[in-house]
Amino acid sequence: MYKLVIILYVVILVLYMLFTRQPDYFDGEMTVGTIHMQTDSITHRQTLFASFDLGKSNYHVNAAYFLRNLREGEKVAVIYDTTMPQRAAIYAWWGYWLQWDEIAGSIIIAVVLWGIAVLLTNNPTEESRLEQLKEPDDKPQRKYS
């Protein structure tokens, strides 16, 4: 039973990751960006940005992410949508495909649902226990005795 639940969880998580990424993996274009340290206009702190050029336009993407170590001047792969290149993302396993908040949230949801299922089926009433132990009236007959 546990194997089935774990396999089902992994399949659902992989399908979710495959079809919910923005920019979309299937429609997005890839390019190379360079990591630069810049002052963020909102927080006024020094943060890492990936800079990439498309034609005559230069775009910047926030490259700071939990447990991602990038250095100034490092080359990274950038995936972007051709209709909205300003909403690009760093293409990497950690941060594009695997995101800590989605992983943590899905594990919490799976554990809570598993706990609810165990609580509902753990202590059956005497009536339901007797009903389960009772032999059905329409028990199939064996072909050969």
Write the pLDDT tens digit of every residue in 1-56.
Answer: 778 888 998 999 999 999 999 999 999 999 999 999 988 778 888 999 999 999 99
Mean pLDDT of the chain: 89
What's residue 122's pLDDT? Answer: 86
**CA dist., res. 20 & res. 11, Å (int):** 14
Within 13 Å, how many C-alpha atoms sit on residue 101's CB side?
Answer: 4
**CA dist., res. 95 & res. 81, Å (int):** 17
What's residue 116's pLDDT? Answer: 92
pLDDT confidence tier of residue 145, bands split at 50, 70 and 90 = low
Mean pLDDT over 45-73 rounds to 92
**The pair of three-digit structure tokens given for residue 81, joined into one six-digit string:** 């949508």
Q: What is the identity of the amino acid at 70? A: L
